[in-house]
Amino acid sequence: MRNNKGQFVKGFHSSTKTEFKLGDKIRLGAKHSEGAKKSISNKLLGRKLSEETKKKVGESHKGNKHWNWKGGISSNKEYRNRQKR
């Protein structure tokens, strides 16, 4: 918060809802160190997923739920020509 002179007000806290929103942006652009990456990787290594979980993950990425889904329309002309054959 700033006062009428544009200076930050010491000790002022936003609402918890606003602070929570800002909390997501604190690490924006920050990168993990190589050691941190390695420890995260080691923690997840060998993790076994149940068949039920694998099916849920598969279903959650099919068709228009997939992050790269473009409505079934491709802008690549070569790809469209291959699909017509």
pLDDT of the residue at 42: 92
Q: What is the pLDDT of residue 58?
A: 92
Give the CA count within 13 Å in the CB-facing half-sphere of 43. 6
pLDDT at 38: 94
Structural contact between residues 74 and 80, judged by C-beta atoms closer than 8 angstroms = yes
CA 30 to chain CA mean position, Å = 14
Determine the pLDDT at residue 74.
67
Write out residues in the chain with pLDDT < 70, as ranges: 1, 24-26, 73-74, 80, 83-85
